[in-house]
């Protein structure tokens, strides 16, 4: 009885048929669509999600496989096995393979930030480490990576410089240096700056000032990625439009690089709270442990329809839209900002079945003006 009820509800909510349209066929020309992959999706242990990827996407990003901790855990000891499989998978399937990322303050091994003899990291050592890492990683995949997230998340939400170990050791020109090293390692690869919450005017202004600075110096930068870690309500449509208009106004392309829609309550305090407080929030905010109710499922579908309507409206400014994961099971939002929650931010459910939100995106793409 329960099974029958569930299937009626899902049909009513228009879950797409497994042999229905493919997202990549519905996208306007020049606008790639993709997802971030786990190692299991690349090597086929997560076969159901892998089938979704091959069917629907023409670009892929590595969720964690190309980060510094994955590729150079110890100085000069490179571990490329998983990254090699990722790049080969994309190439075998004719996809634009994205590199993520070369410079970040997270998922970078401790040694990279340690100074010599217990002293703080100095500029020369930091630059030498950056250059060696970027040259080795971007150089290995020369000609095979479509574009690199060169620097990730260099600004705070108020537009001030994030005080990362790279910034503190080198100063603001660490960004121009990193882009230059990346360009030297792979002159054909597109180069991107990637950050979140660019709907905040002060942060956006700082990022676009950086873009202007790089361009004035003749340093290659092709696009700015707004990650797109959004919620059901925020940012508002006008804020999303401002992101795309302003990036294009700075003379580069825009990309949505890590799209997902958080359906659970989130406050800024949650992120830095201690474990005990997080455990309390787990009890009060893990609202849908047994499945997303129809009303929220519809809300998610409407939000995705809104987002894709806006992206299509601005398609001349955009080159890529990438989801941060394939299925809800994989999403980082099951662990952030409160570990152990059950979240539903993507277009495919935990069994890799298309959700009503997928159908909503398909409907919006189908209704787009002729290309
Ligand atoms: O690999 C270990 C595993 O051995 C261990 O058992 C497990 C226990 O927690 O941790 C595993 O590592 C985790 C790793 O993901 C791989 O699953 C790390 O703890 C966890 O912190 C890490 O999270 C990643 C996060 O970046 C790190 O900041 C997420 O998967 C990844 O989705 C997320 O992606 C970032 C983008 O790169 C940049 N923009 C924001 C986005 C979301 O945070």
CATH of the domain at 202: 3.20.20.80
Summarize pLDDT for 18-41 with one digit per residue, the tens.
788 999 999 999 999 999 999 999
**114 catalytic, yes or no?**
no
Domain span at 147: 2-367
285 lines ligand 1 (CB under 6 A): no
Atom of ligand 1 nearest to the CA of 100: 37
Atom of ligand 1 nearest to the CA of 324: 32
227 lines ligand 1 (CB under 6 A): yes
For a mutational test of ligand 1's pocket, the pick from 64, 157, 227, i.e. the residue with the most ligand atoms closer than 8 A to its C-beta, is 64
Average pLDDT, the chain: 95
- 84-123 as b/e, with b when 16 or more CB fall inside 10 Å? eebbebbeeeebbbbbbbbbbeeebeeebbbeeeeeebee
106 lines ligand 1 (CB under 6 A): yes
Distance CA(285)–CA(204), nearest Å, equals 30
Whole-number pLDDT of residue 14: 83
Atom of ligand 1 nearest to the CA of 227: 39
Residue 229: Cβ within 10 Å count: 18
Residue nearest to atom 35 of ligand 1 (CA): 63
pLDDT band at 153 (very low <50, low <70, confident <90, very high): very high
For the ranges 61-70, 111-120, 193-202, 319-328, the lowest mean pLDDT is seen at 111-120
332 lines ligand 1 (CB under 6 A): yes
DSSP designation for 29: T
Residue 257's closest CA among 230, 231, 227? 227
Whole-number pLDDT of residue 371: 56
From the candidates 63, 190, 226, 258, give the one annotated as an active-site residue.
258
How many domains does one find in the chain?
1
271 lines ligand 1 (CB under 6 A): no
> Is the per-residue pLDDT at 4 higher than 50?
no
Tell me the mean pLDDT in the region 245-259. Answer: 98
> Is the per-residue pLDDT at 7 higher than 90?
no
Helix (H) or strand (E) holding 260: strand 253-262
pLDDT band at 370 (very low <50, low <70, confident <90, very high): low
69 lines ligand 1 (CB under 6 A): no
Tell me the mean pLDDT in the region 53-77. Answer: 98
> Is the per-residue pLDDT at 9 higher than 50?
no
DSSP designation for 330: G
- Centre of ligand 1 to C-alpha 330, Å, is 11
Tell me the mean pLDDT in the region 45-65. Answer: 98
Whole-number pLDDT of residue 1: 31
161 and 205 Cβ atoms separated by less than 8 Å: no
> Is the per-residue pLDDT at 263 higher than 90?
yes
107 lines ligand 1 (CB under 6 A): yes
pLDDT band at 17 (very low <50, low <70, confident <90, very high): confident
**298 catalytic, yes or no?**
no
From the candidates 153, 184, 241, 306, give the one annotated as an active-site residue.
153
- Centre of ligand 1 to C-alpha 219, Å, is 31
Summarize pLDDT for 299-331 with one digit per residue, the tens.
999 999 999 999 999 999 999 999 999 999 999
- Centre of ligand 1 to C-alpha 333, Å, is 10
The reported pTM is 0.95
Tell me the mean pLDDT in the region 202-218. Answer: 98
């Amino acid at each position: 009885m329960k099974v029958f009820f569930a299937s009626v509800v899902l049909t009513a909510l228009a879950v797409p048929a497994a042999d229905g349209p493919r997202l990549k066929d519905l996208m306007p020309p020049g606008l790639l669509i993709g997802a971030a992959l786990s190692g299991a999706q690349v090597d086929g242990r997560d076969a159901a999600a892998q089938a979704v990827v091959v069917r629907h996407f023409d670009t892929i990003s590595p969720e964690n496989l190309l980060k510094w901790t994955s590729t150079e855990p110890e100085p000069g000891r490179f571990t490329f096995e998983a990254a090699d499989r990722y790049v080969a998978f994309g190439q075998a399937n004719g996809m634009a393979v994205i590199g993520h990322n070369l410079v970040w303050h997270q998922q970078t091994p401790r040694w990279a930030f340690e100074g010599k003899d217990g002293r703080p990291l100095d500029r020369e050592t930091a630059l030498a480490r950056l250059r060696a890492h970027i040259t080795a990683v971007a150089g290995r995949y020369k000609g095979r990576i479509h574009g690199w997230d060169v620097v990730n998340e260099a600004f705070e939400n108020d537009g001030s410089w994030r005080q990362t170990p790279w910034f503190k050791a080198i100063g603001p020109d660490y960004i121009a240096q990193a882009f230059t090293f990346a360009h030297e390692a792979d002159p054909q690869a597109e180069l991107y700056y990637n950050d979140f919450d660019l709907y905040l005017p002060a942060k956006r202004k700082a990022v676009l000032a950086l873009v202007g600075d790089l361009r004035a110096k003749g340093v290659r930068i092709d696009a700015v990625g707004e990650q797109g870690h959004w919620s059901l309500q925020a940012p508002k449509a006008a804020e999303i439009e401002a992101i795309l208009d302003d990036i294009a106004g700075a003379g580069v392309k825009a990309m949505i690089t890590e799209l997902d829609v958080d359906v659970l309550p989130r406050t800024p305090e949650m992120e830095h709270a201690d474990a005990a407080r997080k455990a309390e929030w787990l009890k009060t905010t893990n609202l849908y442990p047994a499945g997303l109710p129809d009303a929220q499922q519809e809300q998610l579908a409407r939000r995705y329809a809104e987002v894709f309507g806006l992206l299509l409206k601005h398609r001349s400014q955009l080159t890529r839209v990438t989801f941060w994961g394939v299925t809800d099971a994989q999403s980082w939002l099951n662990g952030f900002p409160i570990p152990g929650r059950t979240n539903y931010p993507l277009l495919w459910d935990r069994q890799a079945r298309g959700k009503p939100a997928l159908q909503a995106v398909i409907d919006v793409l189908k209704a787009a003006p002729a290309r």
